[in-house]
Amino acid sequence: MSLKRTTTVAGALLLAAALLSPPGATAQQPATLAVPDISLANVQAHLNSLQTIATNNGGNRAHGRPGYKASIDFVKAKLDAVGFTTQVQQFTYNSATGYNLIADWPGGDPNDVLMLGGHLDSVSGGPGINDNGSGSAGILETALTVARENLQPRKHLRFGWWGAEELGLIGSNHYVNNLPATEKSKIKAYLNFDMIGSPNAGYMVYSASGQPTGSLALQQTLEAAFVGKVATELTSVGGRSDHAAFARAGIPIGGLFTGAEVTMTAAQAQKWGGQAGVAFDRCYHRSCDTTSNINTTALDRMSDAIAYALWTLAGTGTPPGQKFENTTPLNLPDLATVESSITVSGVTGNAPSALGVGVDITHTYRGDLVIDLVAPDGTAFRLKSSSNDSGDNINTTYTVNASGEVANGTWKLRVQDVAAQDVGRLNSWFLQF
């Protein structure tokens, strides 16, 4: 993780029943999720391999050093062996060649990509086992578990391991900045995992405050992964990890973090059982960031949370079904409410627990808009609240737990413009059952 200071605010635990319901939605019961346990022993084995790579290559896995390329080769070989499609992306920084590794799991909707990532490089002064071998290993074992379970999600799954993060987020910036606009628009969520095994561990979830539309749902999903296990706090890591490039591109982001050089407070120590007045990671950016610098309980919980988020967000158990679409444009006047209808027929039983709601809106200030999906019985599901987001347009797919609603009937998309000056148009919207 690049040098940072961490600001935390108290985070509220969410009820599991609210997991897949957007803010403001009527409470529904989510479908049972068969989320596998991520093997701590396997994650530790990956960390041992990264430690060996560093030991055999001058004590680090830094950009431009042989230990980093060996780390890329190690992760790539693991993924190639189980059926991922991998790509090594090269870039140049400080006159040295850097590498990103991108891995795609075959299948899923190519226009609806869920991406998980973290940086693989260390600083030059140490092996970087917590920072960020921990996140890299947790993501790797989650990806291998996807293959082991032969997961066939509705969304397309992509994983990324970034180079030269420690020198200023170089690799992730290179990846996002070189994606064509059409490819960026396909990434509907990016989750970042940077330092998830700090020895004096905190349990921190990236705050959605100030982030692109859709980030709140990711925050809530990650918070829910810890319900009944350990309390969490929200943290603002600013623009100092690899989520930053995705956020600038308007892609919803989320992430987990166990802390770096900032000291734990007394209240946090009481909550998490750590040491007050001691850094979350005393070996941050130092040579002692070895396999001995890992809190295995935190590493286990965080790795399980990665899997929880992936299985929850990927649309497992909900294969693509019938799609109903309204392509008639509808103007969105200033300070007005409009509704567009879709009549659903021929669907057996209730709507799914992961009903896809695709919305394409042209607007000059999307923060003005409040969007609800209204079921045939009048139940409203909040898709988007108003905000200070000054960006243009909305072109995204929301997921709603509508399992308590009969599928057939007239569904409505209600769009409210709640602030003055800006206008727009609803171009089209769809329901994916």
Q: Residue 366 contacts by C-beta under 8 Å, 6 or more apart in sequence?
A: 213, 389, 391, 392, 393, 394
* CA–CA separation, 104 and 107 (whole Å): 9
Q: Residue 245 contacts by C-beta under 8 Å, 6 or more apart in sequence?
A: 169, 172, 173, 175, 176, 177
The structure tokens 């990324």 sit at 160
Residue tagged active-site, from 165, 166, 223, 233: 165
Which is nearest to 254 in space by CA: 201, 296, 306, 298?
Answer: 306
* CA–CA separation, 212 and 412 (whole Å): 25
* CA–CA separation, 301 and 431 (whole Å): 35
* CA–CA separation, 373 and 190 (whole Å): 24
* CA–CA separation, 249 and 173 (whole Å): 10
* CA–CA separation, 376 and 213 (whole Å): 26
- Known active-site residue 165: yes
Active site residues: 165
